[in-house]
A and B are shown apart, each in its own frame.
Chain A
């Protein structure tokens, strides 16, 4: 149980392109979803937290106009990297949980490479 699916797993695109990453909870309803960015050999850096039907809460230093998050249902959240540039290249990983004290269950991550 508690499976989270994240797609795509790997994206390579040109600078200026917008990229959408999907995160789905397959067998549970996710009251909260999280988006992280991870640099090599570092811990996960929380970008934003989203609750179904409400606006995402962004961490300090994360540009909300750059990283658009939509949490339209209890099983789906999307992260859109708008007008991506090489510095946005990174590993992005989503997670979901179905209660405040519950563990986060993670997707397999998306490796984003901007040329």
Chain B
């Protein structure tokens, strides 16, 4: 069975600091993509970053970067210089033959 696990239901970070959200997944597929989505209080789902499994280089989008460890099946999201607008639910997602979401991590940014 393919699963996506986010072991941190809640996280908090001081404004301007760095925080890392963890995600692990289980799959027997070799060709897949991983994503992080952000859902602010408005409940809109926003794609933050994507990573192709065949790429060794970690994806980066401005203040957001991932640490993709394929052998360990780990896909963590690092948010640098945290801003108040980063406060949201963050969902890790996997797409191969099927699409799976993690249970989410609620991030609070402390002013």
Chain A: residues with CB nearer than 8 A to chain B? 34, 38, 41-44, 46, 91, 93, 95, 100-106, 108-109
Most buried by B among A41, A44, A93, A105: A44
Choose one: A41, A43, A103, A108; the contact of B102 (CB below 8 Å): A43
B interface size (C-beta, 8 A) = 24
Q: Which B residues lie at the A interface, using CB under 8 A?
A: 31-33, 35, 37, 42-47, 50, 52, 91, 93, 95-97, 99, 101-104, 106
Which 10 pairs between the two chains have the least Cβ-Cβ distance?
A106-B45, A43-B103, A43-B104, A101-B33, A108-B44, A43-B101, A109-B43, A103-B35, A103-B47, A44-B101
Taking the closest CB of chain B, its distance from the CB of A83, in whole angstroms, is: 26
Task: Return chain A residues, CB-CB under 8 Å to B97.
Answer: 100
Name the A residues within 8 Å of B104 (CB-CB). Answer: 42-43
Contacts of B31 in A (CB 8 A): 101
Residue of A nearest to B42 (CB): A108
Measured between alpha carbons, how far is A41 from B103 in the docked complex, in Å?
9
Docked-complex contact B102 and A105, CB < 8 angstroms: no
- A46 CA / B101 CA spacing, docked (Å): 9
Known: A101-B95, A109-B43. 13 other contacts (CB 8 A): A43-B101, A46-B99, A91-B43, A93-B43, A100-B97, A102-B33, A102-B95, A103-B50, A104-B93, A105-B47, A106-B44, A106-B45, A108-B42
A sample of 27 cross-chain residue pairs with beta-carbon separation below 8 angstroms, ordered by A number, consists of A34-B99, A42-B103, A42-B104, A43-B91, A43-B101, A43-B103, A44-B45, A44-B91, A44-B101, A46-B99, A93-B43, A95-B45, A100-B97, A101-B32, A101-B33, A101-B52, A101-B96, A102-B95, A103-B33, A103-B35, A103-B93, A104-B95, A104-B99, A105-B47, A106-B44, A106-B45, A108-B43
